[in-house]
Structure 1
Amino acid sequence: MAVPGAAEFIKRILEKEMPLVMLTNYPSQTGQDLANRFATAGIDVPDSAFYTSAMATADFLRRQEGKKAYVVGEGALIHELYKAGFTITDVNPDFVIVGETRSFNWEMMHKAAFFVANGARFIATNPDTHGRGFYPACGALCAGIEKISGRKPFYVGKPSPWIIRSALNKMQAHSEQTVIVGDNLRTDILAGFQAGLETILVLSGVSTLDDIDSLPFRPSWIYPSVAEIDIF
């Protein structure tokens, strides 16, 4: 169910022809999948506007040496890696790449930890440990691999500033001309803060006003929801 006023907010931005990226840590759906979900909720967004942590991970890996990867993840992530020229393999991979999957098992954890412990670079789409309903997410899958291998992953998704800079490249925009809108202080707002963007916290989702006092950074603006944002 869409936040009241969200459709009008997006429409206003698109009508003004302002560069827009819909940034998500969720790596298991394509831009078209997400556009269809939004359309079902009455929000029209072109699929090209979406930028997922799977897309960002593929863009990050394009800049690295090595093209063989052992992947713990599903179709959307694997599709992006194929587009980036990767071979998916469980034989001497250069990278272990972790996204999200409901088929995670003992064998996957063993292989991933073994490869990482033996020198494969450990890359993960996002640090979120769980979604709604406490379904395990990427960060939870990485925890076991990290414990066994003794090596931490590099998380591409929020709050890493890397995904913000990559999104700026996609938009052909500069940080000083860009604002990030989000409902989570520890991912959306922190990522924007670390990348030098102005930030807008909306109180219609994860974070509350009480959460602000517990953190060393603050959003540039705070609104009850996107329907109230009036700076554009």
Structure 2
Amino acid sequence: MAFKLYGSPLSGCTQRVLLVLAEKGVEDFELLPVNLMKGEHKMPNYTEKHPFGVIPLLEEGEFRLFESRAISRYLAIKYKDKGTSLVPSAGDWAGWALFEQWAAVESSNFHYYCEQILTQKMWNPYKGLPTVDAILDDATKRFEEKLDTFDKVLGTQEYLGGKEFSLIDIFYMPAVALLFRAGAGSLIELRPNWKAWWQRVSTRPSWEKVSASAAAAAAAMAGNK
């Protein structure tokens, strides 16, 4: 049965889910655009489905699931036998333990600092708010320390979850792309193992497909202004 995905191709969180679907070759779903500019994600007909009023949201009959990483896990496991194997096999307890380890690393050692930088360099200016240099400088310094550690890890394994491309890499990819859009791509490019990782994952057909969809959505939005 086809499912519905509420989101936007321009949203990094939605892109995580779309990457999973592209890697799996799953096309039997309906992407329902949520116009963030018009505040559709905060309207009652949406918040009754997603209490926190953000995207994405998966709806499959009576089943609803939000949070991009949870949706991505669900789809990667549901379509385990299709396309790229993005998660460990059932019963591979050591594999799942390492998977959860690296998933936690993304949340605690990457996402928080990355989001601080993006807030100051992208989201605040977009909202007409000032960039707070003290916050940006502190977040950048802390983030660089984390990135140096990641770079050492990527010197021993090709991907952020181990030897093979996996759902862990997908967790990072939209945020890294946003760093480049925000003019902070040097944080990645100046670190050789990070740079090599990004070259590997950003040339995958799934990322090219998701990026093309985002570009088309951006062009359509610009044309409607």
TM bracket (short chain): 0.3 to 0.5
Q: Relative CO higher for 1 or 2, CA cutoff 8 Å, sep ≥ 6?
A: 2
| Bigger helix fraction | 2
| Bigger strand fraction | 1
> What's the TM-score, normalizing by structure 1?
0.36
> What's the TM-score, normalizing by structure 2?
0.37
